[in-house]
């Protein structure tokens, strides 16, 4: 093969063998993994670094952590695939020093060191803060549903069980009618249906009875535990609403806070709640503590709109910007919406579209909130009353802390681009991580293990972002400083 680049012959002996370090460039990302694990105080994070006195020596937690960090950086999350890579991947061979743990050892490390691994993720976020990559004063908050290791067919609610049991009872009734007709025909005419048909019907009845008993056992479990839904493969997974295209998914709701400048994930949390409205202040406060800023602005979509959560953010020194959902049906009916009524703080009145004043009437409490009611006595003679209300008068109720919501709405009106900034900031990490996962489910079951798996995904995402922002040599230098 002349005039082609030729490789080294496989049977060629080398007088001076190459060392492992020759196979890894100085700016290879695998060196970031090595430097990061080297800077960690593994014992303080909760890893067991003292070898057992008895028995066969085990692998150092630093080696196992390096394997997982490399795997999640390169979209290799399976313990069996990691075992194979340790024997054939030159970068992993360099990283582990030719060690090749079996898949069970690799899997057990992730399962047994969940809290410590989650702290490792927090350590990298702290490193990003120390090198001034978290100096933005704006964060975006969002949640996304991730699939669990649980098929929809193995998730049950009371409504679903009632439907399934009804379908089974109906099917059993039809098969029993077939057997009754066969018996009647035999009694009146002496002729019988084919034996194969009787056997087939009997088998179907037995199968339906087994299915009915299985559903009844799930129903009994709900009665005993008080659960509203049961997942058989992953008991912690819940059926959650997502989008119109994919209405429900059995899995977990992952909350993230992403800073707006470098798009790094500052904080995250895995929950089993299928909604976001109670997470705003918790996630925003976590970001404020991690970033060690005096104050930040937290932007979220309308799924996070809850008056109490917005107030809690302001009291914590966080400026919330949350779009308000349109829950009133007035606009759809061709009537004035509540937003068409302007509040005059000096006079403590609402001014309606007709220019009349809705004055304060009384205060009451509802669902723990203090509400003030306003209306006008002149609604009956208003010429545009049909465009306003079908009742005797149009009433407006005002929360005692409504000024907090008014200020937030004014910020949105002054700069509507803030809401677009949220989607450009926080949705990209979700899309990237789900692509790395192969657009499939988590590898592990139960909430605590899924939280560990998500921490590794977040760590890999943040590490990749920082390498792209400041470069690999600069990141390694910062780790060794």
The string of pLDDT tens digits covering residues 44-60 is 998 888 877 777 888 89
Strand partners, 396: 374
Strand partners, 267: 257
The CA-based angle 212-216-221, given to 5 degrees, is 155
> Averaged over 253-261, what is the pLDDT?
93
Phi, psi of 153 (to 5 degrees): -70, -15
Q: How confident is the model at residue 299 (pLDDT cuts 50, 70, 90)?
A: very high
pLDDT digits (tens, 9 = 90+) for 407-461: 998 888 888 888 888 888 899 999 999 999 988 899 999 999 999 999 999 999 9
Which residue reads 């014992």 in tokens?
A: 43
pLDDT value at residue 332: 65
pLDDT digits (tens, 9 = 90+) for 21-37: 888 888 899 999 999 99
d(CA 316, CA 338): 29
Strand partners, 155: 231
Q: How far is Cα of residue 426 from the mean position of the Cα atoms in its chain?
A: 12
Question: Has residue 244 got a pLDDT over 80?
Answer: no
The radius of gyration of the chain's CA atoms, rounded to the nearest angstrom, is 31
Question: Has residue 123 got a pLDDT over 70?
Answer: yes
The predicted model scores a pTM of 0.86
> Averaged over 143-152, what is the pLDDT?
90
Q: Are 97 and 259 in contact (CB under 8 A)?
A: no
pLDDT above 70 coverage of the chain, percent? 94
> Averaged over 104-113, what is the pLDDT?
93
d(CA 263, CA 125): 12
Question: Has residue 67 got a pLDDT over 80?
Answer: yes
d(CA 240, CA 295): 33
Q: Is 394 exposed, middle or buried (0-12, 13-18, 19+ CB in 10 A)?
A: buried
Q: Are 120 and 462 in contact (CB under 8 A)?
A: no
Q: Are 231 and 148 in contact (CB under 8 A)?
A: yes
d(CA 223, CA 206): 26
Q: Are 460 and 122 in contact (CB under 8 A)?
A: no
Closest CA to 135 of 281, 262, 255, 321: 262
pLDDT value at residue 185: 65
Question: Has residue 120 got a pLDDT over 90?
Answer: yes
pLDDT value at residue 73: 94
pLDDT digits (tens, 9 = 90+) for 316-340: 889 999 988 876 667 667 788 888 8
d(CA 152, CA 315): 41
């Amino acid at each position: 093969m002349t005039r082609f680049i030729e490789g080294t012959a496989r049977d060629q002996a080398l007088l001076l063998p190459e060392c492992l370090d020759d196979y890894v460039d100085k700016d290879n990302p695998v060196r970031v993994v090595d430097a990061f694990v080297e800077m960690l105080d593994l014992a303080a994070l909760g890893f067991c670094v003292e070898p057992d006195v008895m028995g066969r020596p085990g692998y150092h937690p630093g080696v196992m952590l390096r394997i997982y960090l490399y795997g999640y950086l390169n979209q290799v999350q399976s313990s069996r695939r990691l075992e194979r890579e340790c024997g054939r991947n030159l970068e992993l061979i360099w990283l582990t020093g030719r060690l090749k743990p079996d898949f069970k050892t690799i899997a057990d490390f992730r399962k047994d060191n969940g809290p410590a691994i989650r702290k490792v993720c927090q350590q990298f976020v702290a490193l990003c803060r120390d090198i001034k990559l978290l100096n933005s004063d704006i964060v975006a908050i969002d949640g996304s549903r991730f699939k669990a290791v649980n098929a929809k067919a193995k998730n049950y609610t009371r409504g679903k069980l009632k439907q399934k049991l009804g379908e089974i009872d109906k099917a059993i009734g039809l098969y029993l009618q077939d057997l009754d007709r066969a018996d009647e025909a035999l009694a009146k005419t002496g002729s019988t249906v084919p034996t194969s048909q009787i056997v087939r019907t009997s088998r179907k009845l037995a199968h339906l009875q087994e299915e009915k008993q299985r559903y009844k056992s799930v129903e009994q479990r709900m009665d005993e535990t008080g659960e509203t839904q049961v997942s058989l493969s992953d008991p912690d997974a819940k059926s959650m609403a997502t989008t119109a295209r994919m209405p429900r998914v059995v899995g977990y709701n992952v909350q993230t806070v992403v800073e707006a400048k470098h798009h790094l994930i500052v904080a995250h949390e895995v929950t089993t709640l299928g909604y976001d409205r109670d997470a705003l202040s918790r996630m925003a406060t976590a970001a404020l503590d991690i970033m060690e800023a005096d104050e930040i602005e937290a932007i979220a979509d309308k799924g996070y709109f809850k008056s109490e959560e917005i107030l809690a953010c302001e009291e914590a020194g966080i400026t919330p910007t949350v779009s308000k959902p349109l829950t009133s049906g007035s606009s759809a009916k061709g009537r004035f919406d509540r937003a068409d009524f302007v509040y005059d703080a000096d006079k403590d009145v609402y001014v309606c579209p007709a220019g009349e004043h809705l004055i304060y009437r009384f205060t009451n409490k509802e669902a723990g909130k203090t509400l003030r009611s306003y209306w006008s006595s002149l609604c009956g003679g208003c010429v545009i009353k049909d465009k306003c209300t079908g009742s005797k008068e149009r009433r407006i109720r005002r929360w005692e802390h409504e000024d907090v919501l008014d200020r937030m709405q004014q910020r949105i009106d002054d700069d509507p681009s803030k809401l677009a900034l949220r989607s450009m900031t926080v949705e990209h990490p979700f899309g990237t991580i789900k692509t790395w996962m192969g657009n499939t489910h988590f590898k592990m079951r139960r909430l605590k293990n899924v939280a560990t798996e998500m921490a590794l995904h977040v760590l890999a995402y943040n590490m990749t972002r920082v390498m792209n922002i400041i470069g690999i040599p600069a990141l390694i230098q910062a780790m060794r400083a």
